[in-house]
Amino acid sequence: MRRRLRIAMLDSGVFADHPHIQRPLIGGITITPSGEQEGFQDRLGHGTAVCALLQQMAPDADILAVKIFDTRLATSLPIVLRAIDWCLAQQIDIINLSLGTANQDHLPHVTEAIERTQRAGIVVVSAYRVDHTLMLPGSLSSVIGVVEEPSCTRESIHFVSDPTPHVAACPYPLDIPGVPRERNIHGVSFAVAHVTARIANRWHASGASNNWLTQLADDTPTLTESLSADTAG
């Protein structure tokens, strides 16, 4: 019997009793400046929304919550690096990274961390660009970089070849009855989750490919760079 796919969601944690959370998570942790803490209670709602989307779109995957945001959607490089190391120890298959940084001073540390995930066979999915600014680690060639594209349905993504290969996906979480989706939280974080789910659903059939960008390019339409502007989500 094959092992279930394991997705680590680096975000604000999860509120396990939320009605959109369809099944229990198999684990998780909170990463703080001083180290690791048990639990991953979400105080913002963002991680809960991302988790709910992943559970619905990738029902055969197990989710682990890695809480790196607390009272606001901001964190530090040491916390992110510690979270990635935690994922390496937990035999994670895909890291869904709901963040990015434009600070190029972080490039050496981020590159080194991503190289560690590559050696372990972990796929990292992250924001490629926000507000026309390239992000780390999503703009690295070894990461699946994602931008938001409102014209995409939940089931579709588009491959974008310029300026460097990345993908575009739907930027909306699960719908709330009676609430227009534009009034709900939305943004590139949810586009990232849609791409993570697409990879998860193809994981076993592909033999855990080392070149997911090529696979995504082969089975999705290609867009030019005339996409709508990105916003952080």
- Where does the pLDDT of residue 228 fall: very low under 50, low under 70, confident under 90, or very high at 90 and above? very low
Is the pTM higher than 0.85? The answer reads: yes
pLDDT of residue 71: 87
- Where does the pLDDT of residue 185 fall: very low under 50, low under 70, confident under 90, or very high at 90 and above? confident
**CA-CA distance, 71 to 84, in Å (whole number)?**
21
Q: What is the dihedral of CA 44, 46, 49, 55, to 10 degrees?
A: -110
Sequence spans of domains, the chain = 5-223
Across 68-80, average pLDDT: 92
Task: Select the CATH number that applies to the domain covering 5-223 from these four: 1.20.120.160, 3.50.30.40, 3.40.50.200, 3.40.50.300.
Answer: 3.40.50.200
Reported as a single tens digit per residue, the pLDDT across 158-171 is: 999 888 999 999 99
pLDDT of residue 153: 92
> Going by C-beta distance under 8 Å and a sequence separation of 6 or more, which residues neighbour residue 12?
42, 43, 44, 45, 46, 47, 48, 67, 68, 69, 70, 73
Q: Which two tokens stand for residue 143?
A: 């990461």
- Where does the pLDDT of residue 209 fall: very low under 50, low under 70, confident under 90, or very high at 90 and above? low
pLDDT of residue 226: 40
Across 178-196, average pLDDT: 92
- The answer, yes or no, to whether residue 47 has pLDDT greater than 70, is yes
- Of the candidate ranges 94-98, 189-193, 197-201, 202-206, the one whose mean pLDDT is the lowest: 202-206
Reported as a single tens digit per residue, the pLDDT across 88-117 is: 999 999 999 988 999 999 999 999 999 999
